[in-house]
Amino acid sequence: MADNVTPRVRVPRDAAAGETITIKTLISHPMESGQRKDSDGNTIPRSIINRFTCEFNGESVMEMILEPAISTNPFIEFQAVVPESGTFAFTWYDDDGSVYEESKDIAVS
């Protein structure tokens, strides 16, 4: 498991019903591509986050498949529609089976 994996998400605190909001996510992760070699010439095995999902009250906003060509500390920005107050659930799936989760509440006025 990669050390010190910290997900960070920015979601507006409130929005109008049906408004489109921008969500930014960043997770600290080395995203070892499997292409690099260490000082002894051995290939460093691949260890990346391979999938990311965002759901709002259980309904899908978007899903992303990440490949080794995504940079260290993957940053993802996308947009979502908020029909009502609720919770965004963000999930990152690691190659080693770890799952990192984060959630954010939003109030719709």
**At its nearest, how many Å lie between other proteins and the CB of residue 4?**
19
3-state secondary structure of 15: strand
Residue with Cβ nearer other proteins (3 or 38):
38
- The identity of residue 42, as a single letter, is N
Residue with Cβ nearer other proteins (14 or 63):
63
| Contact residues: other proteins, CB under 8 A | 20-22, 33, 35-37, 55-56, 59-72, 74-83
**At its nearest, how many Å lie between other proteins and the CB of residue 77?**
5
Residue with Cβ nearer other proteins (86 or 102):
86
**At its nearest, how many Å lie between other proteins and the CB of residue 1?**
21
d(CA 29, CA 27): 6
**At its nearest, how many Å lie between other proteins and the CB of residue 95?**
14
Residue with Cβ nearer other proteins (71 or 109):
71
